[in-house]
Amino acid sequence: MDKEVLFTMNTAFRGEYSIYGYTYGRGEKAACIVGAMRGNEYQQLYICSLLSKRLAELESQGDIVSGKEIMMVPSLNYNSLNAGMKYWLADDSDINRSFPGNPEGPATSRIAASLLERVREYSYGIQFPSFYLQGEFIPHVRMMRTGHESTNLANLFGLPYVLTSDSRSFDHATLNYNWQIAGTEAFSIYSGGTDRLDEEYANLAVSAVLRFLTRMGIIKYPCHGGYISTVMHEEEMISIKADDAGFFHKLVGTNQEVKRGQVLAEIVDPMDGKVVSEVLAPTNGIVFFVQDNPIVFQNIIIYKLIRKLHQ
């Protein structure tokens, strides 16, 4: 393993700030893995630490295929991680809404431009972003429809689901979108959470990446087959919103089958403790996402269901 500085700059209050990359193997730029871009992405950084350790072991055993190089970039925003903030400290900007970046722009734009320039030559790009909703969800591969996506390759991670989504205007400023436009086969791996560590889901994500790298002929690793992924479009899922505000009492968690009319959760009045509303399943399906805040507000998404195809 070699450590190198990918980008460095001076900051007003913390002196020199550098982004580091860790490389395993030598030769063709085969795969690049990017971790935490936000200061609350502890799970994403944790997965990178597990992967880094495993890749170093594989390299020492000679199990990275000759002529192949893997790069790992564990964190782009460790200042915010250290300070317990989500976005860039100086201006509250989001690195993953700053691509393709500007070398002469503000800090997050310069970081984005420098990273993209350094990683765009890799054949495969794997990112661990955080989910846009706060809560628990089934681990999956997510791909934007850019005309360059390949769900067949995404299946090789062996995760339960491959989700595709139409790109929206703000998606054009993300790493995944710009990676795809630059010609890299890019995949976003969602690993079950963000600001908490989930050991089971983290190990599932590590196995998925090692499985993909093995199947693409980049490493030699005796992996299990994983899941036969179900490919679906994000719009096919059903969103359930809260009718009332109050304490959220979850009765059904992720990856559980539910029947139409089943009570999924209760919303409780925080003053008198009475149940003000029940959250009912609108159809037979599987729980894909459930929010995990103790209090919910009216009209926010609290569940997402995968509708069962045959009812």
Q: What is the set of domains in the chain, with CATH numbers? A: 2-233 (3.40.630.10), 237-307 (2.40.50.100)
What does the pLDDT average to over 97-105? 95
Q: How much is the pLDDT for 14?
A: 64
Tell me which residue of 252, 219, 239 sits closest to 305, measured CA to CA. Answer: 239
For 273-294, what is the mean pLDDT?
A: 95
**Can you tell me the distance from the alpha carbon of 73 to that of 23, in angstroms, rounded to the nearest whole number?**
9
Q: Given a cut of 70, is residue 12 above it in pLDDT?
A: no
List the structure tokens of 41: 């992405």
Residue ranges in the chain assigned as alpha helix (H): 42-60, 78-83, 107-119, 151-154, 175-181, 199-215
Q: What is the mean pLDDT of residues 202-212?
A: 96
**Which pair of structure tokens corresponds to residue 271?**
């003053």
Q: Is the pLDDT of residue 309 over 60?
A: no
pLDDT digits (tens, 9 = 90+) for 262-278: 999 999 999 999 999 99
Task: Kindly state the average pLDDT of the residues 212-217.
Answer: 97
Q: How confident is the model at residue 311 (pLDDT cuts 50, 70, 90)?
A: very low
Mean pLDDT estimate for the chain: 93
| pLDDT above 60 (res 170) | yes
Percentage, residues of the chain above pLDDT 70: 98
Most confident option among 4-13, 33-42, 138-147? 33-42
246-250, strands of its sheet edge to edge: 275-280, 263-268, 246-250, 295-296
Cα–Cα distance measured from residue 22 to residue 70, given in angstroms and rounded to the nearest whole number: 8
Which residue reads 């690793």 in tokens?
Answer: 221
Given a cut of 70, whether residue 3 has pLDDT beyond it is: yes
Say which residue, 104 or 131, is predicted with more confidence: 104
Tokens 């992924």 belong to residue: 229
Minimal CA–CA distance to 149: which of 94, 31, 231, 211? Answer: 231
According to DSSP, residue 216 is labeled T
Q: Return the higher-pLDDT residue of 144 and 95.
A: 95
The residue among 48 and 131 whose pLDDT is bigger is 48
Enumerate the β-bridge partners of residue 296. Answer: 246
